């Protein structure tokens, strides 16, 4: 399989400028506190004071609005919304959702698209290793998806295309901030009050719904850690995991 587009440098080369990497498992952290920590670490990484970082954590319930968020996307339930400097539109974070913030110094020439594709590849590899039937990309949409043609074990899951992992990043002075979120065993109720990621013709899902059992964030950390490191290092090739999608699946019976 080939990559969605050729990267600026060989696909088997690390996209990270250096090899040293520290992992931090932070538990549940208030969003603003985590954002402030990211900014501090990113400054330190840009100045060469610390190695690359991978932060694994969860947030208390919060909406975050990226730079492309539209007024019509905003929540209707009164939950606080924080405007952030990442790309993308509005999304929700909360307990049961695994969030990963890579603070990575990118190799030159900086290739933001390739970086995003490598994050997606790491997620896809981790979920495939976990046993997910079919996950991949949908043309024109970021993140990782389950197509409507794949039935979830839990019949409460949507019959439409279902987003299981979201991405939103920022690169400053060649250092990445923000990152990805993977729905493990979180509630989906909070998504009902926003137009998540600006998409109104598809749905969201969790690993627990797709597999019919409780899948915790702790269970997914080792798999996601291993796959992300391999993808960023070029040991895991970015492949064309395009999914067949009708955008809107068949109506429930």
For the entire predicted model, the pTM comes to 0.89
Tally of CA atoms within 13 A in the half-sphere of 210 that contains its CB: 30
Does the pLDDT at position 217 exceed 90?
yes
The pLDDT mean for the chain works out to 88
Q: What is the pLDDT of residue 249?
A: 45
- H-type helices in the chain, by residue range? 31-46, 112-130, 207-211, 217-233
Distance, C-alpha 196 to centroid of its chain: 13
Q: Check 42, 84, 197, 221 and give the catalytic one.
A: 197
- CB of 136 closer than 8 Å to CB of 242: yes
- CB of 136 closer than 8 Å to CB of 241: yes
Q: What is the pLDDT of residues 20-32, one digit of tens each?
A: 999 999 999 999 9
Q: What is the pLDDT of residue 67?
A: 83
Of 220 and 82, the structure prediction assigns the larger pLDDT to 220
Q: What is the pLDDT of residue 202?
A: 65
71: helix, strand or coil: helix
Q: What is the pLDDT of residues 50-92, one digit of tens each?
A: 999 999 999 999 999 888 888 877 888 888 898 988 877 788 9
Give catalytic status of residue 184 as yes or no. Answer: no
151: helix, strand or coil: coil
In the structure, what pLDDT confidence band is assigned to residue 251 with cuts at 50, 70 and 90? very low
């Amino acid at each position: 399989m080939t990559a969605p587009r050729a990267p600026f440098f060989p696909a088997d080369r690390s996209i990270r400028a250096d090899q040293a990497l520290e992992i931090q498992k932070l538990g549940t952290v208030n969003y603003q506190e985590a954002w402030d920590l990211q900014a501090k670490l990113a400054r330190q990484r840009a100045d060469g004071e610390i190695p690359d970082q991978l932060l694994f954590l969860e947030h208390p319930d919060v909406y975050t609005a990226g730079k492309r968020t539209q007024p019509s996307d905003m929540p209707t339930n009164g939950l606080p919304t924080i405007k952030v400097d990442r790309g993308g539109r509005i999304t929700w974070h909360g307990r049961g959702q695994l969030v990963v913030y890579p603070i990575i110094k990118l190799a030159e020439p900086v290739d933001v698209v390739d970086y995003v594709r490598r994050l997606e590849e790491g997620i896809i590899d981790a979920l495939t290793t976990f046993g997910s039937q079919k996950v991949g990309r949908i043309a024109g949409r970021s993140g990782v998806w389950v197509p409507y043609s794949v039935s979830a074990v839990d019949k409460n899951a949507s019959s439409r295309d279902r987003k299981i992992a979201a991405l939103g990043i920022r690169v400053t002075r060649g250092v990445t901030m923000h990152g990805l979120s993977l729905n493990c065993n979180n509630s989906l109720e909070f998504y009902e009050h926003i137009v998540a990621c600006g998409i109104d013709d598809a749905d969201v899902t969790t690993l627990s719904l797709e597999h019919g059992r409780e899948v915790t964030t702790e269970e997914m950390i080792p798999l996601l850690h291993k796959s992300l490191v391999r993808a960023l290092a070029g040991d895991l090739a970015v492949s064309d995991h395009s999914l067949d999608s009708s955008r809107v699946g068949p109506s429930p019976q």
